[in-house]
Each structure stands twice: as C-alpha cells, then as structure tokens.
C-alpha cells in the first residue's frame, strides 16, 4: 500500500520534527522572559560608506504589486548607489524615536517579535556605483555600509555558492538576510526560530517591492551552502545564520516572461 504523500510526518521527518518541536501547548509555554538589549553587529575601523539621499517610489502599491516579477535576466551594468540605498534603508532602517512615559519605541519599517529585530543585512557587491566590490554590512543605526571583505569574487564561485543558480552571479548585488539567534531565542525559546523565518520574509517582501518600484530586477534565493555563505559574510554560523537572499540588478529583458528567464526555456 502506497503511503499518502500528504502525510507530513512520514515524508519529511526532519521538517516534521522541527515543526512539532516548535509547536506550543500549555505545558510548553516558556514564559517569554525579555532579554537585555543587544547591539547590532558592526565592526569598528572598517572602510565606511554613508548612504546618500535616495529616490522615492512614486507608483501606487497596487501598481508595484502588479509589476513585480522574479527577474533572472540582468544587464551587465552597475546599479546606482542611491537606488540601492532606497532599497536597503526602506526595508530595515532605524526610524523615528517615540516616547511614552518611561518607554521609548524606535520605529522600523517591518514588524519584529518583541521588537527585538534579530536580522542583519549583508551585501555581496559585484557592480554598484560608488561601492568597492566585496561584502558590505548595513548598519541601520548609522545608516551606512561597512566593507567587511574586498572582492571581486569569481562568478563561477558565486554561482557554486548559490547551488548552481547562474543569475545570482550575473546580478549587480546580492542582499543576504541573516539572523542573530540570541536576540530572539533568548525570549521565545525554540519557537523564536519560526519568528526569525517570518521576519526574513517580511523584510524580503519589502525589498522586492521597493526594487520593483525603483525599476530594478530582483529574484529571491533560498538555495545556498549555509556554512560557506556564512564564511564569506564573516559571520559565526553558531551565532548568526543566513536565512534568505535576493539578487538585484538592472533588468536585461523587456516583457515579464523574458525577465523570468525560466530554466529550460528557449
């Protein structure tokens, strides 16, 4: 008798173990102790680029949603820094500070469980005007980029790193979302790992819509070699884990299907 492929537990036991292991019942409630505030990841003394003023998206939300497409066709030309600044700042910047009695709230463009903001944004830059090729890290509190590793990196190696996806190596820049696990899991326990994944999705969707509204092509990437990518980004994979990536560049084709450049299509 053939087993039912819809039975999650039988066909994907590791995923099932994760899901059930982070499920909540009354007797698994961790109580949610608030951790002390942890600073963002930053490296003093590294080369620094302050982000410039950036253009605004003028299309309506419905227009941007209608225009969004997973773009795997990129021109071999640079992305300008102001548009990249608009994308990075728009999805993870530190905004206005609001006070209520003894409580201070810092506005951010995306929701975060407990207001802990465990994510970090790293940029693998191939061709951006005004930026040295290499790995840059976005520091939200200072609204700038620090250069952690100078490039350039061989395209075939970048393609390998992202599990043979050639369009990643053709993009002008790849934005990688990683999570500092201690910022969230200290309060929420293993359930907090789900929140990390959700927050990476929030940030990446905003990134996609901003890129689309600014005329850039973008495609999300979930496939990569985790430890090798962490090594490139200079992060400790036992403390900070890469979760999601997005390749950005100037679209190379006209038309929605041409921009998709689906594998196997003529």
For the chain, what percent of residues have pLDDT higher than 90?
66
Alpha-carbon span 148 to 151, nearest angstrom: 10
| Per-residue model confidence (pLDDT) at position 1 | 45
Give the confidence band of 38 by pLDDT, cuts at 50, 70, 90: low
Least confident of 13-22, 58-67, 81-90: 13-22
Q: Looking at the predicted structure, is the pLDDT value of residue 24 above 80?
A: no
If you search the block for the tokens 């939200």, which residue do you land on? 140
| Per-residue model confidence (pLDDT) at position 7 | 79
pLDDT: which is higher, 150 or 107? 150
Domains and their CATH numbers in the chain = 48-260 (3.40.109.10)
pLDDT: which is higher, 95 or 250? 250
Over residues 239-254, the pLDDT tens digits come to: 999 999 999 999 997 8
Q: Looking at the predicted structure, is the pLDDT value of residue 74 above 90?
A: yes
| Per-residue model confidence (pLDDT) at position 233 | 96
Over residues 147-188, the pLDDT tens digits come to: 999 989 999 999 999 999 999 999 999 999 999 999 998 888
For the chain, what percent of residues have pLDDT higher than 70?
92
Alpha-carbon span 87 to 103, nearest angstrom: 30
Count of C-beta atoms within a 10 Å radius of residue 182 = 15
Which residues are bridge partners to 128 per DSSP?
79
Helix pair angle (191-213, 81-92), 10° resolution: 150
pTM here is 0.90
| Per-residue model confidence (pLDDT) at position 103 | 75
| Per-residue model confidence (pLDDT) at position 106 | 78
Rounded mean pLDDT of 221-248?
96
Contacts of 125 (CB under 8 A, 6+ apart): 131, 132, 133, 134, 135, 136, 151, 172, 173
| Per-residue model confidence (pLDDT) at position 12 | 86
């Amino acid at each position: 008798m053939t087993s039912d492929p819809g039975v999650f537990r039988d066909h994907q036991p590791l995923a099932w173990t994760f899901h059930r292991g982070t499920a909540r019942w009354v007797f698994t409630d961790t109580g949610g102790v608030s951790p002390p505030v942890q600073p963002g990841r930053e490296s003093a003394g590294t080369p620094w680029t302050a982000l410039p003023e950036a253009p605004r998206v003028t299309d309506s939300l419905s227009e941007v949603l209608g225009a969004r497409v997973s773009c795997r066709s990129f021109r071999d030309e640079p992305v300008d820094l102001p548009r990249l600044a608009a994308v990075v700042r728009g999805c993870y910047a530190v905004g206005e500070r609001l006070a209520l009695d003894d409580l201070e709230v810092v506005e951010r463009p995306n929701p975060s469980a407990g207001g802990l903001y465990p994510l970090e944004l790293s940029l693998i830059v191939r061709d951006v005007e005004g930026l040295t090729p290499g790995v840059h890290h976005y520091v939200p509190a200072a609204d700038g980029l620090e250069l952690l590793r100078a490039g350039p990196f061989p395209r075939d190696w970048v393609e390998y790193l992202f599990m043979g996806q050639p369009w990643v190596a053709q993009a002008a820049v790849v934005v990688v979302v990683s999570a500092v696990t201690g910022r969230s899991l200290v309060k929420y326990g293993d359930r907090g790992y789900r929140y990390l994944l959700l927050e990476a999705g929030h940030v990446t969707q905003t990134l996609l819509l901003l890129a689309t509204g600014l005329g850039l092509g973008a495609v999300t990437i979930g496939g990569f070699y985790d430890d090798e990518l962490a090594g490139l980004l200079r992060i400790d994979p036992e403390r900070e884990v890469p979760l999601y990536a997005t390749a950005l560049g100037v679209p190379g084709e006209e038309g929605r299907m041409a921009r998709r450049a689906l594998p196997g299509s003529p």
